[in-house]
Amino acid sequence: MSMKRRDFLKTGAVAGGALMAPAIVKAESKKTYHLKMTSAYPPGSPFYTTGPGSATDFVKRVEAMSGGRLKIKFYAAGELIPALGGFDAVREGTVDMNWANAYFWAGRSFAAQFFTNVPFGMDVLGTNAWLSQGGGQELWDEVYAPFGVKAFAAGNTGMQMTGWFRKPIESVGDFKGLRMRIPGLSGKVYEQLGVSVKLLPGGEIFPALQRGVIDAAEFVGPYLDRKLGLMNAAKHYYTPGWHEPNNVTELLVNKQLWDGMPADLQAIIQNAAAACNEISFSWCNANNAAALKDLVDNYGVKVGQLKPEIISRLREVTFDTLATLTAKDPLAKKVNDHYFAFKKRADSWLSISEAVVLTQNL
């Protein structure tokens, strides 16, 4: 073979490779992903499973924004895995995504619950600011890195109610001996007051309360609590949501899957989650007032406010509990200190802005 011919073939091969590279990239960019997403919430649950800002809304948005390149098959609680099996299923790659709340995984990492809510912590405005602009998302990534998962905020209920009680709560002593469904750090606080805490998924709360397996339960707020029928099992409904000043819905994604996705599809998932985060909170605010009126007028529900001395004791126990538990876990302490430092700064502004609007009827 002549030198010229060898040079030509060599040059042609290089050129051909150069021409093929964009084609490979283009083909990769057109890849269709067929994913599975599970949830901690049962079929038909407003806010979580169906309706604006829900898991199914997220699925539709992602498919539409990606032009069909991201197709997600959604399974409600119990349809593919148990309600609270999502974290391990995503970590192991059994499913690709899960729709739940980070405080369900406190047994995996104590710090996880800071990314759902913190008793006496920030409201939805402060939490969104912390997660998106204040370093909270980076801490969330750090907490989950050892497990091979990544999370995003994908919903928020806003302020929740204290919960439903079969008997009135008139003093701190009335908590002693109660059996109550309540997840997360607030459950640890109630335990210090003599409450027997139960961790139950949403679909199991009503039957447990109706049968007397538990004496009290918290879920979300008027609209969603009415949907579960909790007013038919207990009549005493208390505020404020000291335990959940807001509540973040978590979109959990397998990290290996996430890292292998093209940047444009990552952006679509992030933006769809951000949209659902905003829309779901608006949905709750739009529906809770009418639902609360219905509960009082038509179901005989008695709405009460916890007495100041009860709130004071709950606050004291909360911060004692936080100090004790985070002292055992350096990462949890890091998140705790960062969270409350940001809260202090955020509160200085909210106290002369949002708070004034609410308290002075502007």
**Domain match, 239 and 250 both:** no
End-to-end alpha carbon distance in the chain: 90
| Pick from 78-92, 331-345, 348-362: least confident | 348-362
Domain count, the chain: 2
Q: Does the pLDDT value for residue 362 go beyond 70? A: no
Predicted confidence at residue 360, as pLDDT, reads 74
**Domain match, 148 and 252 both:** yes
The CATH number assigned to the domain holding 311 equals 3.40.190.10
For every residue of 284-313, DSSP letters joined together read HHHHHHHHHHHHHHHH--EEEE--HHHHHH
* Mean pLDDT over the full length of the chain: 91
**Domain match, 200 and 315 both:** yes
- Label residue 355 by pLDDT band (50, 70, 90): confident
Q: Does the pLDDT value for residue 4 go beyond 80? A: no
**Domain match, 152 and 168 both:** no
What would the pLDDT profile of 240-274 be if each residue is shown by its tens digit? 999 999 999 999 999 999 999 999 999 999 999 99
Give the pTM: 0.86
- Label residue 2 by pLDDT band (50, 70, 90): very low
The residue among 11 and 82 whose pLDDT is bigger is 82
Sequence-separated (6 or more) residues with CB below 8 Å from residue 101: 40, 116, 183, 247, 248, 249, 250
In this structure, are residues 98 and 39 in contact, taking their beta carbons and an 8 Å threshold? yes
**Domain match, 174 and 264 both:** no
Predicted confidence at residue 284, as pLDDT, reads 96
Predicted confidence at residue 11, as pLDDT, reads 42
The CATH number assigned to the domain holding 71 equals 3.40.190.170
Query: What is the average pLDDT across 85-106?
Result: 97
Distance, CA of 317 to CA of 324 (rounded, Å): 10
Query: What is the average pLDDT across 38-46?
Result: 94
- Label residue 298 by pLDDT band (50, 70, 90): very high
Domain that includes residue 200, residue range: 163-243+303-342
- For 225, phi and psi rounded to 5 degrees? -65, -40
**Domain match, 120 and 100 both:** yes
What would the pLDDT profile of 116-151 be if each residue is shown by its tens digit? 999 999 999 999 999 999 999 999 999 999 999 999
**Domain match, 235 and 259 both:** no
Distance, CA of 99 to CA of 89 (rounded, Å): 12
**Domain match, 132 and 215 both:** no
Q: Does the pLDDT value for residue 58 go beyond 90? A: yes
Distance, CA of 255 to CA of 97 (rounded, Å): 10
